[in-house]
């Protein structure tokens, strides 16, 4: 199994697992490799350090880290405070994807009927519920002008599907 570090045009970094280099290239050519955050299928491999198991070795004795290493470990990254380390791009990407999945799991997709359903709920014709769907910019403005709260929220394709 090959584990590759991948990146889309928007700079989102993620990991992909493939049976071989040919498997990765084949899936990429068929458009099956997409960014889990934005759905971009223009994916490039990043440099990554392979891990080679050259045989079993006795575990090394545990030593206390040197002062410079201790500072880097405590901050998550050298020179970063704990709060800054928590806001590094991979953490933000993971948080965004988790939020998007939560939205998908807790809302009903009404598709292109979004504006119509939002109006029906606003006027009491149907029971209120959490919905999501597609609306044009004009429809969204009209809903807002009518006093119907809407929030544009672009959801990545990966949030709507189970990752393998």
The sign of the torsion formed by the CA atoms of 31, 35, 39, 40 equals negative
Q: What is the pLDDT of residues 96-106, one digit of tens each?
A: 788 888 888 89
Q: What is the pLDDT of residue 162?
A: 57
Contact 80, 89 (CB under 8 A): no
25 vs 77, residue with greater confidence: 25
Residue with tokens 């800054």: 84
Q: What is the pLDDT of residues 36-84, one digit of tens each?
A: 888 888 999 988 766 545 565 655 555 444 443 333 333 333 444 444 4
Q: What is the pLDDT of residue 54?
A: 58
30 vs 161, residue with greater confidence: 30
35 vs 78, residue with greater confidence: 35
Q: What is the pLDDT of residue 48?
A: 73
pLDDT-based confidence at residue 10 (cuts at 50, 70, 90): confident
Rg, C-alpha atoms of the chain: 23
Q: What is the pLDDT of residue 3?
A: 85
Q: Average pLDDT for residues 21-49, to the nearest whole number? A: 87
């Amino acid at each position: 199994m090959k584990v590759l570090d991948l990146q889309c045009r928007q700079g989102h970094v993620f990991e992909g697992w493939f049976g071989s280099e040919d498997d990765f290239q084949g899936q990429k050519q068929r458009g099956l490799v997409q960014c889990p955050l934005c759905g971009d299928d223009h994916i490039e491999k990043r440099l990554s350090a392979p891990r080679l198991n050259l045989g079993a070795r006795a575990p090394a004795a545990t030593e206390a880290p040197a002062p410079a290493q201790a500072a880097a470990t405590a901050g998550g990254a050298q020179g970063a405070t704990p709060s800054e380390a928590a806001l590094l791009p991979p953490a933000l990407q993971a948080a965004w994807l988790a939020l998007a999945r939560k939205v998908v799991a807790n809302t009903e997709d009404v598709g292109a009927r979004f504006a119509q359903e939002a109006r029906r709920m606003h006027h009491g014709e149907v029971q209120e519920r959490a919905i999501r769907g597609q609306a044009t910019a004009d429809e969204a403005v009209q809903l807002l002008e009518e006093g119907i709260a809407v929030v544009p929220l672009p959801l990545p394709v990966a949030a709507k599907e189970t990752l393998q």
